[in-house]
Amino acid sequence: MDFRGSEPARGPREADRLPASTATAVKVVIVGGFGVGKTTMVGAVSEIRPLTTEETMTQAGAGVDDIAGVERKRSTTVAMDFGRISLSDELVLYVFGTPGQERFWFLWSGLFEGALGAVVLVDTRRLEVSFDVIGRLEDRGVPFVVATNTFPESPTHGTEDLRAALDLPPEVPIVACDARARESGRDVLIALMRYLYDLSARSAR
């Protein structure tokens, strides 16, 4: 995939501030293995200039980070990505992207504080990098949807085959997406909001 870059964050502009008319702001997190497209998705959906913490990969990560399948990747998120998207006049999402390498997972606790749910971004060429990510969300009790990111030469799997391979409960939504496309990423976030609403409605019965 041709990953999109993001401009460095600058000082806040008037257009970057949360609209005064917004009634509800919700925090969600985009997670996934190394190189699945988290920074790309945050940058694509954000209506403000996204904040990124991408750094050039160096020899310090050699033998530590598993880059199988993404050997051409030259930069990596070392703390978080941040963007914002207004789904309606009443609902604004603060979107955080997590670092993919396991050595940075100690940052997850802070990033998930106050989050209502998560998107697990999956590369179907490397399903195995998603196993530990999903396990951590399940251990934390964080509701999530799975989004399969479209890469060149990605194998096509049926929904139930993916569900079985990732050992997902039947109620967890699985959606296809292109992390580079704003509308596609927006559809994923809407799917998460609908899932969270359904869970809330069930618990209220």
pLDDT in tens, 111-135: 788 999 999 999 999 999 999 999 9
List the one residue out of 41, 62, 42, 58 whose CA is nearest residue 50.
42
pLDDT in tens, 27-51: 999 999 888 999 999 999 999 998 8
Indicate the residue type of 137: L
Name residues whose C-beta falls within 8 Å of residue 171's C-beta, 6 or more positions apart in sequence: none
Find out if CATH 3.40.50.300 is the number for domain 21-204. yes
Mean pLDDT of the chain: 80
* pTM score of the predicted model: 0.76
**% of the chain with per-residue pLDDT over 70:** 71
